Amino acid sequence: MNSNTHNLFKISTIILFISISLFHFTKSPQTLTLTPKSPRTNYIVRFTNYKHAHHHKKYLEHNTKKKFNGSSNWEWIDRNNAASRFPTDFGVVSVDDEAVNSVVEEFQRLEMVKDVTVDSSYQLRNLLGGNEKVFERIGAFSDAKKRPGKIFTSMSFEDNQTVEWRRELLSHKSQVTSLFGADGLWSKGYTGGKVKMAIFDTGIRSDHPHFRNIKERTNWTNEDTLNDNLGHGTFVAGVIAGEDAECLGFAPDTEIYAFRVFTDAQVSYTSWFLDAFNYAIASNMDVLNLSIGGPDYLDLPFVEKVLELTASNIIMVSAIGNDGPLYGTLNNPADQSDVIGVGGIDYNDHIASFSSRGMSTWEIPHGYGRVKPDVVAYGREIMGSKISTGCKTLSGTSVASPVVAGVVCLLVSVIPESERKQILNPASMKQALVEGAAKLSGPNMYEQGAGRVDLLESYEILKSYKPRASIFPSVLDYTDCPYAWPFCQQPLYADAMPVLFNTTILNGMGVIGYIESPPVWHPSNEESNLLSIHFTYSDIIWPWTGFLALHMQIKEEGSQFSGEIEGNVTVKVYSPPGLGETSFRHSTCVLHLKLRVIPTPSRSVRVLWDQFHSIKYPPGYIPRDSLDVRNDILDWHGDHLHTNFHIMFNMLRDAGYYIETLGSPLTCFDARQYGTLMLVDLEDEYFEEEIQKLRDDVVNTGLSLVVFGDWYNVDTMVKMRFFDDNTRSWWTPVTGGANIPALNDLLAPFGIAFGDRILNGDFSLNDELIKYASGTNIVKFPSGGFVHRFPFYDSSESGATHSFLAGGKDNADSAILGLVEVGGSRIAVYGDSNCLDSSHMVTNCYWLLRKILDFTGKNVKDPILFSNSVKLETSLHQDDDQLPSRRTDLNFSTYSAVLGKELICRSDSRFDVWGTKGYGLQVRGRNRRLPGYKAIDLGMGLNSSSDISISKSPKVVDRSKENSSGNKFLGLLYRDDLDAPVVFPSHWLVPAAVGVLGILLLINFWRIRQKRRRRRKGSNSSGRFSNL
């Protein structure tokens, strides 16, 4: 055997060995994840009534016995805790993973079963790691990976900075209690006596020297201890009821009930909370503090149990979150109207940078959020009890929350015990707090709520309190800036979209209430009749709270009016009789309005913001816009002008633009009123009627269009999916940073399309440095337009492969900014919204947006943007089959307001199209067409210098036949409904191919040896095959 043959044999043997190794040792990561150590998963079964646990257990066993023939694919889990002696409305069962679907379906079929959900675990973040360990603010995600447990934002933390106000505070030997005047109530004998305070946290030690009245300690975890081994629960209890001279609490005589709901590993489960909540209800707690929170307000078992808890007359206080200074970052349950949500301030009465900001985002995108937090309190460098003895400082809204909880305990003790349940409830306590609060100068309503808690003012209110209903906020004053931001930032004017103001009804008369008659607007003078208000409100006010939303428009006859409009809105509320009463309780709520009105601005400076097509977390996994942000992977801040785009909103107002919000489809606005329609960071699809109308608006009505896209790459989205150990399900991105396939459909009539690259890097334009953070590229644009290109790194899956093959470099210029004229209209597209979004912005591009709007609204062309060097002589083109396409491996209609839904104009559109399909479309049996709305004429008004082929009809996409970025098998490999282990071809295909290659090489080696043997044999005989 010569050396070449010998080497070939070695190679083939090695390859065969590798292939065998791959078969034996390479496993699908999905399969590994889907096959946990335990073959069972815990589920919460909620029932429609309360019974003892053994009754619920027998009910399930009896009604599923025939279905499963006595098989043990599920079992009841006994919960031996303090609540087990009381009736319950839920049970926990352990279900075989392989039988999950059949068992859950059978349970849900039963009449007495309300629903079945996974027993999600909670993870308490940023507590005290050990006795004295300094910890960082860490959220639910780290390095783009989800940590175990329910999604929570950061909790209280220790400041490393030296702060002047702390030195001043300590030098005067002051206490946070004295800053609220607690000693004034102590001197009157009010110290929190006979107030039952539930602290849901990490427990407390029974012999702690700082507490005189630890009434009961209960453990709801799977650990056999009642003690606090972390220190957070002890600190919270110390702020509320500590009696150490160095770190006094507010109500030292309060009865402490310590609910240990978190383990030493800082983990909890929904079922633990549900049991603990039920026990708090059964034990008649007065106040409950919960210093936790997260963005998932759709965790229904948890949220609904909080509603039941407050309905049971337990006053809940909760931290609003530590995700400031970002807007739209309120945490649940503090964002619920029945809970007192607390923000944080420092000792200079400045809103703490860490304190989360409003508005609430439950109502977005099809409505408007409520004012939260309710109140603020000191939350930086607060003194509290250490884990065993002594004091220390912590900061965070989870510190401000027990400050308010301590205030509440002190206020509860003011009311005689025999009268407390008749007077005090979650609504009356919130009324006392918000009406007594001191409004701070500087912060707006979404930063401070009603203002800083004022203990003594609230005390005076409660002393003479009579059950009543009220509205919060009770005043909307456009002259009170900045408190009334964003309303005071932009006056009202005729022909505008309605301005929505969402208020909370607080009903101190009873847990349930009703609106007696529709709300009424009472103008204070003749000019105030120019205001038209439509109202939407709660049919039932429960528990203790409801909503009243104002939809405000100026009538057409006020188009030239300039001045103030003033008056009151009244709404009458009634509740059932109280204890010992025979007649219903009645109350009239008053909301005072003082509004500024200006003449209708010119069309050129009016901008319409599309909110309707925005999708956020929850309910789906909507990924972040910048993939560089690896510790906050969800898009949950609302994407609203008044949340994470609030700085941009202020900038545009300062530049003289008027921005209105459209929360309905694109058919629901009159394009003749606006110079520009802005589409920024949108994730939803579009109705075909929307595509048609927008094309007509641009071609015939002179409407201009500004589009800011974001990354979209199916391969990258697939890679971002993960298995959540809490919900036992796959989390996969619903879309990219923006829904590029949908935007391309919308832009198709104008010959414009985005690609699927994920571009990152810096570039300079007009001597301004801009960060391009996970933006996309422009792949189609008409000739005659102006396109700016720059070199970037492509971090998409396909781009990374190309970069690797090119030696780690990708210097090809990518088109990212395009501007073009279309007749009397103008279109501008840009591939990244990160520079407008204040959530995770690196550098802003507000100056670029202003120049773009000057172009689209006023036809002012900046010489840099419209340089001849960037003018397209020939169109930028890419075949349609090469454009990004939709994923087919998920049901997008679950998250969409378009797919499978009816096109209808909602209550945030102009009053005249409410409940219709909009302008220029068939509307409930009649055709509504705008006066003077031109018929489509494709041959007129087009700019000859722009080679744009306006399609005669919008592109209709059969989404059921569309593939995912050319990867036709991705739907098989990465589908979402993976309830059982699946064999993935991608994980046996590679070793199989390698194995086949090894076998072929061995066969080839064997054939060569056989031929050589025959040759040697022939040479020895006749030599006829010597040349073979």
Q: Is 398 in the active site?
A: yes
Catalytic residue (one of 201, 244, 684, 756): 201
Helix (H) or strand (E) holding 75: strand 74-77
Are 236 and 268 a contacting pair, CB within 8 Å? no
Q: Is 349 in the active site?
A: no
What is the chain's percent helix, strand, coil content, to nearest 5? 30, 25, 45
Copy the structure tokens of residue 847: 């100056």
Are 434 and 370 a contacting pair, CB within 8 Å? no
Copy the structure tokens of residue 138: 């860490």
Residues 6+ apart with CB under 8 A from 400: 319, 342, 343, 344, 345, 355, 376, 377, 378, 379, 382
Copy the structure tokens of residue 447: 């930063």
Copy the structure tokens of residue 933: 């709305």
CA dihedral 415, 420, 425, 427 (to 10 degrees): -40
Look-up of token digits 């943007």: 865
The C-alpha atoms of residue 310 and residue 319 are separated, in whole angstroms, by 16
- Distance, C-alpha 869 to centroid of its chain: 43
The C-alpha atoms of residue 552 and residue 491 are separated, in whole angstroms, by 12
What are the Cα distances from residue 677, in Å, to 107, 577, 644, 824, 845? 49, 52, 19, 15, 18
Copy the structure tokens of residue 1001: 């090489």
Are 455 and 251 a contacting pair, CB within 8 Å? no
Provide the sign of the torsion angle of the four alpha carbons 326, 328, 332, 334, taken in this order. positive
Helix (H) or strand (E) holding 996: helix 985-1021
Look-up of token digits 């690196």: 842
CA dihedral 634, 639, 642, 643 (to 10 degrees): 10
Catalytic residue (one of 210, 232, 640, 642): 232
Q: Which of 378, 443, 365, 413 minimizes the C-alpha distance to 252?
A: 413
Catalytic residue (one of 395, 398, 798, 907): 398
Does the bond joining 991 to the residue before it have cis omega, within 30 degrees of 0?
A: no
The C-alpha atoms of residue 786 and residue 782 are separated, in whole angstroms, by 9
DSSP 8-state secondary structure symbol assigned to residue 1009: H
DSSP 8-state secondary structure symbol assigned to residue 547: E
By annotation, the residues acting in catalysis are 201, 232, 398
